[in-house]
């Protein structure tokens, strides 16, 4: 009896040891799954004349996990963000009175990541606005009300802002977004179109204010989707991507929209574009696998599923995809 008890105790201790060993082996992976880790990025923010910009908001967002980390630039324009996991991250720099800028990069934890320089261009009329604390406070107030979904109050603030500073046409993007949230789609479209018209009028071409033009065309596309006009939606999303052809997230999201509306051929076009922009991003390959599976094109489906597994073998969906591949290969025989 004593020997049996001793054996049971030994088995329990061994099991406990194995559990602890496994836990500490996979725990770094679990943390990385949340997008967090030991990676660090840094850089500087300057204006279009090369002068440092203080107080710019830098946001790093994991493409895979939607985890967000942020920092603000110092007086000399420098900034740094730590705690990033390995993988593709979108890093965005914004400040009132300037166009925003973003970059997507593959962040590494075990080696140094290259420094990032953001160059933010002053918006038309921003020079006069920068020294006007009342104007910035007004815009911030409207933005906070919008985030709190107090849309009517936010509209009042933005409309007052627009009346006082008509040269800052970008505020109409906020107004258009509010009208869209309220379901007033025609008014939303008018606001987005107003921005596009002002860019043409003041800048001559959309590329001169790429961020505002991209957001305006994307807004028109979203309005068209809410109206059920997929052709108009595709036209506007395509224009947004023409202006910002390196935006893999926009391409992927448009693909998702069309796939959810059973427009598989259109979805393939945008998921394929996302893979061309960001070759190491696994998710578009996964979606392409499902798209071709939907079309009963098993060869293509297997090809894209295998590419997904090659890029992200530890993904939670990996085992399911391996099972699908096995079934498809049996069907081919």
Identify the pLDDT of residue 22. 41
Query: Using H for helix, E for strand and C for coil, what is the string for 106-132?
Result: EECCCCCCCCEEEEECECCCHHHHHCC
* Residue 25 predicted with pLDDT over 50: no
pLDDT band at 308, cuts 50/70/90?
very high
The whole model's pTM is what?
0.60
Quick: pLDDT tens for 254-307: 898 888 888 899 899 999 999 998 888 888 999 999 999 999 899 999 999 999
Lookup result for tokens 């070759």: 279
Confidence of residue 185 (pLDDT cuts 50, 70, 90): very high
Say which range, 26-35, 45-54, 114-123, 143-152, has the weakest mean pLDDT.
26-35
Q: Give the pLDDT confidence of 148-179 residue by residue, as tens digits.
A: 889 999 999 999 998 888 888 888 999 999 99
Identify the pLDDT of residue 17: 43
Under the banding of pLDDT at 50, 70 and 90, the label for residue 124 is: low
Distance CA 191, CA 171 (A): 9
| pLDDT above 80 for 14 | no
Residue 227 is classified by DSSP as H
H/E stretch holding 7 reads: helix 2-33
Q: What is the mean pLDDT of residues 179-183?
A: 93
Give the DSSP H or E segment for 200: helix 185-203
- In sequence order, what are the beta bridge partners of 42? 80
Query: Bigger pLDDT: 116 or 138?
Result: 116
Residue 214 CA to its chain's centroid (Å): 14
For residue range 227-249, list pLDDT tens digits in order. 988 889 889 998 999 888 888 88
Give the pLDDT confidence of 82-96 residue by residue, as tens digits. Answer: 998 888 888 988 886
Q: Is 101 helix (H, G, I), strand (E, B) or coil?
A: strand
Let me know if 282 is exposed, middle or buried by CB neighbors in 10 A (0-12, 13-18, 19+).
Answer: buried
Strands (E), 50-123: 57-62, 68-72, 78-84, 87-94, 101-107, 116-120
């Amino acid at each position: 009896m004593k020997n049996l008890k001793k054996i049971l105790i030994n088995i329990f201790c061994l099991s406990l040891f194995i559990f602890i060993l496994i836990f500490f082996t996979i725990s770094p992976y679990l943390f990385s799954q949340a997008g967090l880790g030991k990676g660090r990025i840094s850089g500087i923010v300057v204006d279009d004349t090369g002068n440092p910009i203080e107080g710019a908001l830098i946001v790093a967002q994991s493409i895979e996990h939607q985890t967000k980390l942020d920092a603000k630039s110092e007086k000399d324009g420098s900034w740094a963000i730590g705690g990033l996991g390995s993988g593709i991250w979108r890093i965005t720099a914004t400040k009132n009175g300037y166009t925003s800028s973003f970059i997507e990069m593959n962040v590494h934890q075990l080696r140094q990541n290259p420094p990032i320089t953001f160059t933010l261009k002053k918006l038309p009329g921003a020079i006069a606005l920068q020294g006007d604390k009342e104007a910035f406070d007004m815009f911030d107030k409207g933005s906070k009300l919008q985030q709190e979904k107090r849309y009517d109050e936010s509209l009042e603030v933005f409309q007052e802002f627009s009346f006082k500073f008509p040269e800052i046409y970008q505020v109409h993007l906020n107004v258009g977004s509010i009208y869209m949230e309220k379901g007033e789609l025609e008014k939303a479209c008018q606001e987005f179109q107003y921005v596009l018209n002002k860019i043409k009028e003041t800048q001559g071409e959309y590329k001169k204010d790429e961020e505002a033009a991209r957001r305006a065309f994307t807004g028109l596309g979203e309005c068209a989707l809410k109206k059920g006009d997929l052709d108009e939606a595709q036209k506007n999303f395509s224009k947004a991507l023409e202006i910002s052809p390196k935006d893999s997230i926009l391409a992927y999201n448009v693909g998702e929209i069309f796939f959810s509306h059973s427009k598989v051929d259109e979805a393939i076009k945008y998921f394929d574009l996302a893979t061309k922009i960001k070759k190491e991003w696994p998710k578009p390959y996964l979606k392409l696998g499902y798209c071709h599976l939907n079309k009963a094109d098993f060869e293509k489906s297997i090809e894209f599923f295998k590419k997904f597994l090659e890029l992200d073998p530890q993904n939670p969906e990996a085992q399911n995809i391996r099972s699908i591949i096995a079934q498809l290969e049996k069907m081919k025989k």
